[in-house]
Amino acid sequence: MKTLNECPRRYVHHHVVGRGGWPGGPRQDDADVALAWRLGSRRPHSDLMMRAVSDGIRDRLWADHQDEAWSAGAAEAMLRSRIDESIRMQDGCVDAMELDSLVEGGWERLRAIERAPLISLLERGERIDEWMPLDRLDPLRQDGARLYAAPDLLARSGSTWHLVRISAQIGRREPLESQRLELGMLLAWALEQPGLPREPARFIIHRLGWRGHRWLSWRQRCSETWLRDSRALVEHDLAALSQARWKAGPFTELELLPTTDQKRICRGCGYREICPGAKRLLVFSDM
C-alpha cells in the first residue's frame, strides 16, 4: 500500500493496468500489460540489494533452524549472484564497479545478522524455547484483500511469543507511527494461526533494522488498541485503493488519477520516462 499512498497513478498503472502481466502471468502475451507490469516492478538498485540481503538472512535462519552448515563464502557468492541477476533482469546489464559496491553493502548487513539483538540469542541457544523462520509472503486476508503480514521469524520464550520483522534499511530506530501501525498487522497474522495464543498481550512485536553499520532493535508488547488501530489503517488504505480505481473510471484512464508531488518518488519510478507527472517534476537530467 506504500506505493498507493506515494503515487496513486503509479499504483494503478502497476497493479490494475499491469495485472497478470508478470512473467508466466495470464496476460503476459499482451505487450501493453507486460510493459506496465515490468515498468511498475522497476526498483532502485539499492532496493534490489536489500531484497537479496533479506533472502540471504532467510537462508541463514533456515540453515540454523535445520542445523545445517552455513558457509560465509557460499552466502557471499549467493548474495552477489542474486543482486547481479535481479539487476540484469531489470536493466539487461550490470556495471561491475556498482555491483562490487552493492555486494559490499549487502555483505556487511548479512555478516552482522548473527550479532543482531534477539538473533544472537537464537545463535547461542539462550532464553528462547522454540523458534522458526517464516515466509513473509504467506498472505493474510482482510476485506477480500491479500496482506503480506507474516513476520520473518516467530520465537517463544516462556509464555511470550515474539514476532520479528527484519528490515535491511531503516531511517531510525523508532518506527514512524504509520510504520508502527503496519507492524501491528503482524499480530493480526498471529491471531489467525492455529496453535498460537489468542491474547494480544502474550505477543511482543520486534523490528530489527539496519542503520549506520549495525542492526538496531525496537520492540513493543501488543495490545487490543494497537491491533484495532492497525486494522483501521488497513481499512483506510483499502478504501483509498477502491477510490483510486473508481477515479480511473471503467477504462482505467491514468490521466484521471492524482500523481505524487515528490521528485524523490518519481526518480525511483519505472514510469518516469512516459509519465506526464514526472515531466512536470523532473528536469531532463533526472530522467
Interface of this chain with ligand SF4, residues 9 to 28, rule: CB under 6 A: 9-10
> Is 7 one of the binding residues for ligand SF4 (CB under 6 A)?
yes
Q: Does 45 bind ligand SF4 (CB under 6 A)?
A: no
CB of 32 to ligand SF4, least distance (A): 16
By the rule CB under 6 A, 271 interacts with ligand SF4: yes
**Is residue 168 part of the contact set for ligand SF4 (CB under 6 A)?**
no
Contact call for residue 269 and ligand SF4 (CB under 6 A): yes
Task: For the CB of residue 279, give the shortest distance to ligand SF4 in the complex, in Å.
Answer: 9
Which span sits near ligand SF4 by CB under 6 A: 7-15, 20-28, 159-167, 214-222?
A: 7-15
Of the pair 205, 275, the CB lying nearest ligand SF4 is at 275
Spatial distance between the Cα atoms of 64 and 61, rounded to a whole number of angstroms: 5
Strand stretches in the chain, DSSP E: 130-133, 140-142, 145-147, 153-157, 160-167, 203-211, 214-221
CA 83, CA 72: separation in Å to the nearest integer? 17
Inter-residue long-range contacts of 239-246, CB under 8 Å, 24+ positions, other chains counted: 240/1, 240/4, 240/5, 240/8, 241/1, 241/4, 241/11, 241/145, 244/4, 244/8, 244/11, 244/12, 245/12, 245/16
**Per-residue buried b or exposed e for 41-74, using 16+ beta carbons within 10 Å of the residue's own CB:** ebbebeebbbbbbbebbbbbbeebeeeeeeeeee
CA dihedral 266→271→272→274, nearest 10 degrees, is: -150
Binding mask 213-252 for ligand SF4 (x = CB under 6 A): ----------------------------------------
**Which of 133, 140, 146, 121 lies closest to 54 in space, CA to CA?**
133
Among 85, 156, 266, 284, binds ligand SF4 (CB under 6 A): 266
Give me the residue whose beta carbon is nearest to ligand SF4. Answer: 277
Q: Is 153 in the site for ligand SF4 (CB under 6 A)?
A: no
Binder of ligand SF4 out of 36, 113, 208, 275 (CB under 6 A): 275
Total binding residues toward ligand SF4, as defined by CB under 6 A? 13
Residues in contact with ligand SF4 by CB under 6 A are 7, 9-10, 259-260, 265-266, 269, 271-272, 275, 277-278
